[in-house]
Amino acid sequence: MAPIIVEDPEFPAMRAFPKTFLMMDEIYQPSKEFSREKVRVLARLDETKIDLAHQGVKRTDKDFAVAWVKTYGSGRVFYSTFGHRKKFTTGQTFRRCTARRRSGS
């Protein structure tokens, strides 16, 4: 189970989620080039509740963003590691998370 913290609960894609929750999913780690200076982190793993000594853990800075947005050209990119399990992708929370919005957020 992955312990998730929503950092930006007012962002439209995050409004459907509680502030903290557990998720059974395949969680990807951001690459070494990942930097908070280049993205707006929406949610992350709670590093205090994961085994940082596990052989699969690659980030030494303990920053495990699982959802973020960034500007790209004249548009925006939304990234989420959520959604590898059918139970999640067919649920209402995922639908609200990925619904197209016409706001400035």
Predicted confidence pLDDT, tens digits, the chain (105 residues): 889 999 999 998 888 889 998 887 777 777 777 889 999 999 999 999 988 888 888 888 888 999 999 999 999 888 888 765 555 555 565 555 555 555 554
Phi then psi dihedrals of residue 87, to 5 deg = -55, -40
What pLDDT is stored for residue 93 in this prediction?
A: 55
Q: What pTM does this model have? A: 0.76
Q: Where are the domains of the chain?
A: 2-98
Count of CB atoms within 10 A of residue 24's CB? Answer: 11
Asked whether the beta carbons of 12 and 103 are under 8 A apart, the reply is yes
Count of CB atoms within 10 A of residue 15's CB? Answer: 14
Q: Residue 50, exposed/middle/buried by CB under 10 A (0-12, 13-18, 19+)?
A: middle
User: What CATH code is assigned to 2-98?
Assistant: 3.40.50.880
At 65 the three-state DSSP class reads strand
